[in-house]
């Protein structure tokens, strides 16, 4: 049986196959660039592991307090070296990206301090963490104020108003690299560095934290290479390589990481406690594989941008732009388009391919959200996944794919669903 027949057996028509094959053939040079970056980052991770003398003894599980967990401490050394940072906190006790961000923020802010976002509204789940939407235990309840400066219409930084917003109370500046549920451009590491330099030229002692979710290993440098005091992310996204079953990380300046560790555990205990509970091997191995896995996901995002832009849909980034995260936004303008796309992604999954995702009221969001993720790890968005809020402009956010071939299949399935529903028309 040839590949064409195998795709047909999976429900992909010859017309969809033909259209997608033509698009793939045009992307060879882009894909070669992605592979070159992956090779560079693979060597960076390998070097960090070799310098830290990683051994199979580091894969042993610990329980209870987790005192003297050699595997955990060495893993954090590996992360610090790979990110060119002074220290790292890499723990299964960090349950998700939002939790890691909360720990970093609440560990480094005190009553009377002010938090500034110079890149507009943060991701939806952070609104309750900060207190933009009232929630028990928010930073607002603990006397931390919040100020925001939106990006200019063209996506550039509003330097004039950022300068005005920084005051004697400004303690921490949070910079979200990825777009979240917005259609603004993702920030390159270079642009993040320019913003950090500007902020520190006004107030040198301000802490600059970058929400690095979805951005790790997409470029050859990370925010900690350009002046970020902390970079924060989730292990069930890029750096977990699809193997980490849970976890988050915070890397950066030692004093900032220490304060975050006191918030995660308790003052006086910090990084000394926290058993690894048998997760170490998957954390190490996932981090080792991450550059290659990210490359596959990135190819899928580029493929999706080209497929849907040529069909007349608005895409961010567009088909030719440089990439700074693995997320591809596609605006359909209708709830039906978002739902059909997500149902196509779900149909391509190795797990729960037979179910149809529907929008629901997820905790932390202000509108129903649909999520497609037939994943080995629940909610893992380095695996093939797509999601979006059911509200204008009705955009879907596609990401992941542990291999390029799976990401490719997901896009083909999504297109097939849209064509079948009469929501997209292929060229004759």
Same domain, 111 and 20: no
Identify the band that residue 145 occupies on the pLDDT scale cut at 50, 70 and 90.
very high
Same domain, 16 and 81: no
pTM score: 0.95
Same domain, 244 and 360: no
Cis peptide before 234 (omega within 30 of 0): no
Sign of the Cα torsion 140, 144, 147, 148 reads negative
More confident: 140 or 181? 140
3-state SS track over 314-333:
EEECCCCCCCCCCCEEEECC
Q: What is the pLDDT of residues 82-114, one digit of tens each?
A: 999 999 999 999 999 999 999 999 999 999 999
**21-25 contact pairs (CB < 8 A, 24+):** 23/303, 23/306, 23/307, 23/310, 24/303, 24/408
Evaluate whether residue 425 is within a structural domain: no
Q: What is the pLDDT of residue 428?
A: 78
Same domain, 301 and 368: yes
Evaluate whether residue 404 is within a structural domain: yes
Both structure tokens of 75: 């893993």
Q: What is the pLDDT of residue 198?
A: 98
> Last residue of some domain: 244, 271, 287?
287
Q: How far is CA 19 from CA 25, 26, 55, in A?
A: 10, 11, 48
> Last residue of some domain: 287, 312, 337?
287
Angstrom distance (rounded) from CA 78 to CA 358: 40
Same domain, 296 and 263: no
Q: What is the pLDDT of residues 206-256, one digit of tens each?
A: 999 999 999 999 999 999 999 999 999 999 999 999 999 999 999 999 999
Instruction: Give the mean pLDDT of 30-47.
Output: 98
Same domain, 260 and 185: yes
What is the C-alpha radius of gyration for the chain, rounded to an integer number of angstroms?
Answer: 21
> Last residue of some domain: 287, 314, 338?
287
Same domain, 25 and 144: no
Sign of the Cα torsion 367, 368, 372, 378 reads positive
Give the closest residue to 76 by CA, choosing from 94, 91, 63, 56: 91
Structural domains in the chain (count)? 2
Same domain, 66 and 212: yes
Evaluate whether residue 395 is within a structural domain: yes
Task: Say if CB 123 and CB 181 are below 8 A apart.
Answer: yes
Identify the band that residue 124 occupies on the pLDDT scale cut at 50, 70 and 90.
confident
Evaluate whether residue 427 is within a structural domain: no
Q: What is the pLDDT of residues 184-211, one digit of tens each?
A: 889 999 999 999 999 999 999 999 999 9
Task: Say if CB 97 and CB 234 are below 8 A apart.
Answer: yes
Q: What is the pLDDT of residue 86?
A: 98
Q: What is the pLDDT of residue 184?
A: 81
Q: What is the pLDDT of residues 279-316, one digit of tens each?
A: 999 999 999 999 999 999 999 999 999 999 999 999 99
Evaluate whether residue 129 is within a structural domain: yes
Q: What is the pLDDT of residue 308?
A: 98
Strand 248-252 to 87-91 pairing = antiparallel
Alpha helices for 310-378 (secondary structure H)? 335-347
Evaluate whether residue 74 is within a structural domain: yes
Q: What is the pLDDT of residue 180?
A: 78
Same domain, 212 and 341: no
Q: What is the pLDDT of residue 375?
A: 94
Q: What is the pLDDT of residues 310-366, one digit of tens each?
A: 999 999 999 999 999 999 999 999 999 999 999 999 999 999 999 999 999 887 777
Same domain, 115 and 174: yes
High-pLDDT (> 90) share of the chain, %? 95
CATH at residue 386? 3.90.1150.60
Mean pLDDT across the chain: 96
Residue 197's CB: how many other CB atoms inside 10 A?
Answer: 12
Evaluate whether residue 56 is within a structural domain: no
Evaluate whether residue 426 is within a structural domain: no
Identify the band that residue 181 occupies on the pLDDT scale cut at 50, 70 and 90.
confident
Residue 33's CB: how many other CB atoms inside 10 A?
Answer: 13
Same domain, 137 and 279: yes
Q: What is the pLDDT of residue 185?
A: 86
Q: How far is CA 66 from CA 54, 61, 260, 274, 306, in A?
A: 19, 9, 18, 5, 48
Same domain, 247 and 395: no
CATH at residue 236? 3.40.640.10
Show the domain range for 352. Answer: 3-42+290-420
Residue 58 per-residue DSSP state: G
Both structure tokens of 283: 């954390």
Identify the band that residue 276 occupies on the pLDDT scale cut at 50, 70 and 90.
very high
């Amino acid at each position: 049986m040839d590949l064409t027949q195998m795709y047909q057996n999976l429900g992909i028509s010859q017309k969809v196959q033909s259209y997608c094959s033509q698009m793939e053939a045009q992307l060879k040079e882009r894909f070669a660039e992605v592979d070159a970056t992956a090779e560079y980052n693979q060597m960076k991770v390998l070097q960090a592991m070799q310098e830290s003398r990683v051994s199979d003894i580091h894969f042993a599980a610990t329980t209870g307090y987790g005192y003297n967990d050699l595997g955990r401490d060495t893993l954090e050394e590996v992360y610090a070296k790979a990110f060119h940072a002074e220290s790292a906190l890499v723990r299964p006790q960090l349950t998700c990206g939002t939790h890691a961000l909360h720990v970093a923020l609440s560990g480094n802010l005190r009553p009377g301090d002010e938090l500034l976002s110079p890149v507009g509204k943060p991701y939806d789940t952070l609104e309750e963490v900060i207190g933009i939407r009232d929630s028990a235990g928010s930073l607002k309840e603990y006397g931390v104020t919040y100020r925001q400066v939106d990006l200019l219409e063209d996506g550039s930084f509003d330097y004039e108003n950022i300068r005005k917003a920084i005051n004697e109370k400004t303690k921490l500046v949070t910079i979200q690299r990825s777009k979240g549920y917005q259609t603004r451009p993702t920030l390159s590491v270079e642009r993040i560095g320019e913003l950090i330099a500007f902020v520190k030229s006004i107030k040198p002692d301000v802490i600059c934290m970058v929400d690095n979710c979805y951005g790790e290993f997409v470029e050859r440098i990370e925010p900690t290479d350009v002046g970020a005091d902390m970079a924060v992310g989730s292990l069930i996204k890029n750096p977990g390589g699809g193997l980490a079953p849970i976890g988050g990380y915070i890397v950066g300046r030692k004093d900032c990481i220490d304060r975050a560790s006191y918030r995660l555990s308790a003052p006086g205990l910090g990084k000394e406690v926290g058993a690894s509970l048998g997760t170490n091997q998957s954390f190490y191995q996932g981090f080792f594989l991450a550059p290659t896995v990210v490359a596959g996901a990135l190819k899928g995002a580029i493929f999706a941008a080209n497929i849907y832009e040529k069909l007349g849909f608005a895409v961010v980034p567009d088909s030719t732009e440089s990439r700074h995260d693995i997320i591809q936004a596609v605006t359909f303008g209708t709830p039906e388009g978002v739902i059909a796309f997500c149902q196509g992604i779900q149909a391509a999954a190795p797990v729960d391919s037979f179910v149809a995702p529907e929008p629901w009221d997820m905790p932390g969001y202000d509108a129903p959200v649909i999520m497609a993720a037939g994943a080995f790890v629940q909610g893992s968005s380095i695996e093939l996944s797509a999601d979006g809020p059911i509200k204008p402009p009705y955009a879907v956010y596609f990401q992941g794919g542990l291999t390029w071939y799976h990401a490719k299949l997901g896009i083909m399935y999504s297109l097939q669903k849209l064509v079948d529903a009469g929501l997209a028309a292929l060229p004759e």
